[in-house]
Amino acid sequence: MMKAVFLDRDGVINEVLTERVRFVNNPSQLYLLDGAAEGVRILCDKGYKVFVVTNQGGVGLGYMKEAVLKDIHRKMVEEIEKAGGKIEEIAYCAHSPHAGCECRKPGSLMITDLAERHGITIEESYMIGDRDVDIMAGKRAGTKTILVGSSDHCADMNFPSLLDAAKWIGEQQESR
């Protein structure tokens, strides 16, 4: 069995709600956060499979087409690979925010489906997100949870960035 890190996309890997970009609705609006690609590389180097689990209700609401979402993800994967990291797979919920589906975070279906398909030991894995729905999804799935950005009391740990979280996970791995 393998261990994994499940990453939210917007606000963890790429900019969102910044001066430069409000929402990522086409590839030209994708800007990786400082250190995000390096953070993914560190996680991969420490033996973690890295997955992205992201709510993309803009598709269900008609703000973007699913083909454009796939182009955005292709660009993100390419940029991470340039830094030596690897995203194993991207799971996304394209339903509208009020569709009531189980795949949309805070539901844990994206995480548990990926874990089952890839032989992941969920208890040895992490969910890293920037919002409470990410943390709730991770807890429901059974992962350890890390919030990036502002502090949150329901996450197991809190760091200012994905890079800082990845360095900490790497240190934990070395101390075992």
The DSSP secondary-structure symbol of 3 reads -
Q: Does residue 34 have an active-site annotation?
A: no
Q: Does residue 164 have an active-site annotation?
A: no
H or E stretch at 127: strand 126-129
H or E stretch at 149: none
Give the distance from CA 18 to its chain's centroid. Answer: 18
Active-site position among 8, 130, 134, 152 = 8
Cα gap 85→152, rounded to integer Å: 28
Cα gap 115→2, rounded to integer Å: 9
Please report, for residues 58, 75, 84, the alpha-carbon distance to residue 66 in angstroms, rounded to integers and kept in the order given: 9, 14, 27
Catalytic residues: 8, 10
